[in-house]
Amino acid sequence: MRLKDKVAIVTGGASGIGLATVKTFVREGAKVALWDVSDKGIEIANQLVKEGHQVVFTKVSVGDRDQVFKATTDTVKHFGRIDILINNAGITKDRTLLKMSMEEWNDVLSINLSGVFNCTQAVAPIMKEQQYGRIVSASSNVAIRGNYGQTNYVATKSAIIGMVKVWALELGRFGITANCIAPGFIETAMTDAMPEEIRKQSIAHIPVGHWGQPQDIANGYLYLASDEASFVNGICLTIDGGAAR
């Protein structure tokens, strides 16, 4: 098992890519702290525990620093350490530049950017003391190519690419790696809401001819969180089927 006895935090772990990641990690031997704002995480954690896995759910909004730091302390108390942080939680509130409100701008930055900062700042001292850690954050391929109506979302996902490069420099000497993944179009509840015409247009620009599945991204998280990626630091791994840049 590639993550045997490792302790992982997965934010946004109650649905979509996050849920696929939680299930993948426990299959690979990890003990998982599932963080999410949705109470669905309770049922998910309970089911995984029944299946023999070590999983604990905590209701956390990553944009709330107090909640994040308390959940970090509770995770250490429960499992004894934190080896892996998967900054997966994210939201969208799309609007064109001329129509976007400050509330829409701030809400997306709070979760997608400040949330990543909060979680990483809370966990990094623990990893430093251990002299070991894997930090993997969710960017997006739109960070590279842009996307109509997503000024706020693209701003956060572009910033994450820069932040992990800084963290790679700052934390590498403590045995901690920091990387990110840039997913393309993935079949999740977030993308299910897209109009059918937009879906068809997006597929036309993907050489493999279809959208990805949450498992595709979970597999990327697994690689970067494992010891197989011990010499991978400060990169952004794009998983998008070769979508046109």
pLDDT digits (tens, 9 = 90+) for 190-221: 677 777 887 788 898 899 999 999 999 999 99
pLDDT of residue 198: 76
Mean pLDDT across the stretch 158-182?
98
For the chain, the average pLDDT equals 96
The active-site residue, picked from 132, 148, 153, 223, is 153
pLDDT of residue 17 exceeding 90, the answer is yes
User: What's the confidence (pLDDT) of residue 245?
Assistant: 59
Average pLDDT over residues 35-64: 98
- Angle subtended at Cα 35 by Cα 32 and Cα 41, rounded to the nearest 5 degrees: 90
Angle between helices 16-27 and 40-50 (to 10 degrees): 20
pLDDT at 199: 78
Q: What's the gap between Cα 100 and its chain centre?
A: 25
| Alpha helices for the chain (secondary structure H) | 16-27, 40-50, 65-79, 102-109, 115-130, 142-145, 151-171, 189-192, 196-204, 214-225
Between CA 49 and CA 67 the distance in angstroms is: 24
How would residue 63 be classed by pLDDT, with cut points 50, 70 and 90?
very high
pLDDT of 117 > 80? The answer is: yes
Q: Which CATH architecture has domain 7-239?
A: 3-Layer(aba) Sandwich (3.40)
The band of 128, judged by pLDDT with boundaries at 50, 70 and 90, is very high
Averaged pLDDT for residues 6-32: 98
pLDDT score of 170: 98
Residue 44 CA to residue 12 CA, distance in Å, equals: 12
Instruction: State percent of the chain over pLDDT 90.
Output: 91
pLDDT tier at 244, thresholds 50, 70, 90: low
For residue 41, give the nearest of 23, 62, 59 by alpha carbon: 59
What DSSP string runs through 211-238?
Answer: -B-HHHHHHHHHHHHSGGGTT--S-EEE
Is pLDDT at 57 greater than 70 in this prediction?
A: yes
How far apart CA 180 and CA 53 sit, in angstroms, is 26
For the question of residue 223 being annotated catalytic, the response is no
pLDDT band at 11 (very low <50, low <70, confident <90, very high): very high
Structure tokens given for 182: 């840039």
Percentage of the chain modeled with pLDDT above 70: 99
For the cut 80, the answer to whether the pLDDT of residue 233 exceeds it is yes
Of 13, 103, 94, residue with least CA distance to 53 = 13
For 217: left if phi > 0, alpha if psi spans -120 to 50, otherwise beta; the answer is alpha
